[in-house]
Structure 1
Amino acid sequence: MKACVVLGHDYRFTAQDEVMVWSCARECGAGGSKRYATAADARRYAEAFDRKDTEDLGRGAPLLGMWPLRVWRALTRSDRSGS
């Protein structure tokens, strides 16, 4: 799929018993699996890998290069605390 070539794969992770399984959300066929000692371990790793970092967007960004993003984060943070 062209999107995967340009943007990279968008892997989603799930756990099925002791096996963690991942596949590309764009349905290009990429994926794999790994077996862990316990189902709890597989579930823990799948949850950790499956999270998206959109909430941390802009945190720790370069000061000048990402200035608009830092300003936007500051404004949205003050909107949430004021309501």
Structure 2
Amino acid sequence: MRLFRFLFFIITLTASMLAVVNLRTINSQQYYLCRRNVVKIEKLRNDLTDQRIEIERMINPKAVKQAAKPSGTEDSSSTSQ
């Protein structure tokens, strides 16, 4: 009877350890896929922003130049007038 309990304990312990390793592997894979998708989304958002700026530059280049001016130059020109 003691041998049966010992074997049952060893088999149960081995099965639980295999299950834990399997779950950790699956968790790591899911985390990797999630982070990869987040990076893709950020890259697409940056590309979209770049394209939007390019379109705005094509439509009205003067507005983009004014938006790109540092704020210090606008203040000095308004005080000198």
Q: Please confirm whether the aligned pair reaches a TM-score higher than 0.5, indicating the same fold.
A: no
When Rg is computed on C-alpha atoms for both structures, the one with the higher figure is 2
Looking at secondary structure, tell me which structure has more helix per residue: 2
**What TM-score comes out, normalization by structure 1 length?**
0.27
Looking at secondary structure, tell me which structure has more strand per residue: 1
**Bigger relative contact order, structure 1 or 2 (CA pairs below 8 A, ≥6 apart):** 1
